[in-house]
Amino acid sequence: MYSFTHHAASSVADAVKSVGEGKYLAGGHTLIPTMKQRLAQPGHLVDLNKVAELKGISDNGSVLTIKAMSRHAEVASSDVVKKAIPGLAALAGGIGDPQVRHRGTIGGSVANNDPVADYPAACLALGATIVTDRRRIKADDFFQGLFTTALEDNELITAFEFPHADKFAYAKFRNPASLYALVGVAVAKRGSDVRVAVTGAGSDGVFRWTDAEAKLASNFSASALDGLKASASGLNGDIHGSAEYRAHLIGVMAKRAAAAA
């Protein structure tokens, strides 16, 4: 590892003021390996782990708020999350392994926008709002491509607001080597509005599958998706699975999510 300076921020204001050309450090599960491989070489890290304002989970009866430094394990085991949006707790419980779940944070995951991460699908399907130190960003506007988001330089995610849904579930086909999603599909229903979000498959990252949304809006059941095929165009193909295989998995995972919801 090369040398860098480390500042343990005491507040959101302190973090934003001191980051400069550096980077925020949350769970470090992506950032530290990236630095070890010299894929990123920030000279300064602003550690968010002691910022109390970035911790906590609450619900007001219609909106679930999860602060950015909430670990995946905290979301998975939270009674507040289980009551408000049980499928979101289940999603968090399926991320990585216990070590990853006890270090990785929702803020780090969504800021990173890895195309195979789980949370982006939940944010998009549930129509979450990403709250930062300076504004509120709709999930529809937030995810802008591979590892690319609407965040500006030094912008800090402070919390996520998830409006309750009538139904929500996430189904994931795991890559057995990395534990990330080979394909993951999140399905949410709120009144007549249905949203289906796909992660792991798209070469531009998470996306909505509008054909499935239309089918589920008229009949919210797994069988409504019978015969519907996702297009392989624009999907990733690699040693783990071709674009056609991922397209097939999208249909299978969407059905599983609809059935679970």
Ligand X SMILES: Cc1cc2nc3c(=O)[nH]c(=O)nc-3n(C[C@H](O)[C@H](O)[C@H](O)COP(=O)(O)OP(=O)(O)OC[C@H]3O[C@@H](n4cnc5c(N)ncnc54)[C@H](O)[C@@H]3O)c2cc1C
Decide: is 107 part of the binding site for ligand X (CB under 6 A).
yes
Q: Which of 121, 117, 116, 261 is nearest to 190 (CA)?
A: 261
Q: How many CB atoms lie within 10 A of CB 148?
A: 12
Show contacts with ligand X in window 7-26 (CB under 6 A).
Answer: 23-26
- In this complex, which beta carbon is closest to ligand X, that of residue 23 or of residue 256? 23
Residue 19, both tokens: 């980051």
> In the stretch 71-100, what mask flags binding to ligand X with x, by CB under 6 A?
-x----------------------xx---x
How many residues in the shown chain lie near ligand X by CB under 6 A?
30
In the complex, minimum distance from the CB of residue 142 to ligand X, in angstroms, rounded to a whole number: 11
Residues 6+ apart with CB under 8 A from 61: none
Angstrom distance (rounded) from CA 41 to CA 225: 46
**Least distance to ligand X from the beta carbon of 42, Å?**
8
Which residues touch 49 (CB under 8 Å, ≥6 apart)?
A: 8, 25, 26, 69
By CB under 6 A, name the one of 16, 31, 57, 201 that touches ligand X: 31
53 binds ligand X (CB under 6 A): no
| Positions 134 through 163 that interact with ligand X (CB under 6 A) | 156-157
Taking the least distance from each CB to ligand X, the nearer of 99 and 223 is 99
Q: Which residue's CB atom is positioned nearest to ligand X?
A: 108
Quick one: which of 12, 35, 108, 122 contacts ligand X (CB under 6 A)?
Answer: 108
Region of residue 20 (phi > 0: left; psi between -120 and 50: alpha; otherwise: beta): left
One symbol per residue from 162 to 201: x for binding ligand X (CB under 6 A), - otherwise; what is it? ----------------xxx---------------------
Q: How far is CA 109 from CA 76, 149, 215, 217, 239, in A?
A: 15, 12, 30, 30, 24
Distance, in Å, from the CA atom of 23 to the CA atom of 42, rounded to the nearest integer, reads: 6
Give 235's contacts (C-beta < 8 A, 6+ positions apart). 201, 202, 203, 243, 246, 247
Q: With binding defined as CB under 6 A, does residue 30 bind ligand X?
A: yes
What is the contact surface with ligand X in residues (CB under 6 A)?
23-31, 48, 68, 72, 95-96, 100, 104-105, 107-109, 111-112, 117-119, 156-157, 178-180
